[in-house]
Amino acid sequence: MIANELQPDKWVELHADYLFNYAIGKVSDVEIAKDLVQETFIAGLNSAKNFKGDAAERTWLIAILKRKVIDHYRKINSKKGKAEVRIQYSDQTDAEGEWLEERVADPFVKGGDQEIENEELGLAIQNCIDKLPKKQSRVFTMKTIQGMSTEDICKELGINPSNLWVMIHRARTSLMGCLNQSWF
């Protein structure tokens, strides 16, 4: 076999079990896993002309299967969202809120709960920074939050770069300890 040549007639024999085991690990449903493997083989046949041989045949098929698994979950989430999001968008009309279905957030995009959680985490981090020794807090804030250069911080505080990095390391270590106690 040439290194960059596909052998679709041997896919079932060589790769079906491996792909199935991967799929079942992701979807936990035998029938769905079988369907995803079949869809992978079909997609592989349809896009065989795009196979460049840069990766092994199995690796290429797994990449296709990964996309099929993602598509499966997006499809489920899309249907779930459309089924659950039916509201009246105006008190003066009997029309269903069909427009809302188009605005259902992508599950991979930051949502309201995540914004609240991020805000709470930000407050927890700030509280932990406030507990640091004053100079550590200042160095950490200047370097990590304000993004100042090492040279500018050293000039402003009259310290050398080694001292700066020791303080940043200590600040990070202290912050992780504090966050582990107060947040995680």
Residue 175: count other Cβ atoms within 10 Å of its Cβ: 20
Whether the pLDDT of residue 101 is over 70: the answer is no
- pLDDT confidence of 88, banded at 50, 70, 90? very low
Exposed/middle/buried for residue 163 (C-beta within 10 Å: 0-12, 13-18, 19+): middle
Q: What integer pLDDT is reported at residue 78 of this predicted model?
A: 63
Between 168 and 86, whose confidence is greater?
168
What average pLDDT does the segment 129-141 reach?
Answer: 91
pLDDT of 4: 65
Residues 6+ positions from 46 with CB-CB distance below 8 Å: none
Task: Compute φ and ψ for 182, nearest 5 degrees.
Answer: -100, -20
CA 40 – CA 35 distance, rounded (Å): 8
Which range of 13-17, 51-55, 75-79, 86-90 scores highest in mean pLDDT? It is 13-17
Per-residue pLDDT at 176 exceeds 80: yes
Whether the predicted pLDDT of 2 surpasses 50:
no
Gap between the Cα atoms of 34 and 29, Å rounded:
9
At 95, the pLDDT band (50, 70, 90 cuts) reads: very low
Q: What is the pLDDT of residue 116?
A: 53
pLDDT confidence tier of residue 65, bands split at 50, 70 and 90:
very high
Q: Are 170 and 145 in contact (CB under 8 A)?
A: no
Chain-centroid distance of CA 153 in Å reads 34
| Section 111-131 average pLDDT | 70
57, 46, 62: which is closest to 4 by C-alpha?
57
Residue the block writes with tokens 């020794």: 133
- Max CA distance (Å), the chain: 71
Q: How confident is the model at residue 91, as a pLDDT?
A: 44
pTM (2 decimals)? Answer: 0.44
Query: What domains lie within the chain, and their CATH numbers?
Result: 8-84 (1.10.1740), 112-182 (1.10.10.10)
* Summary mean pLDDT of the chain: 77
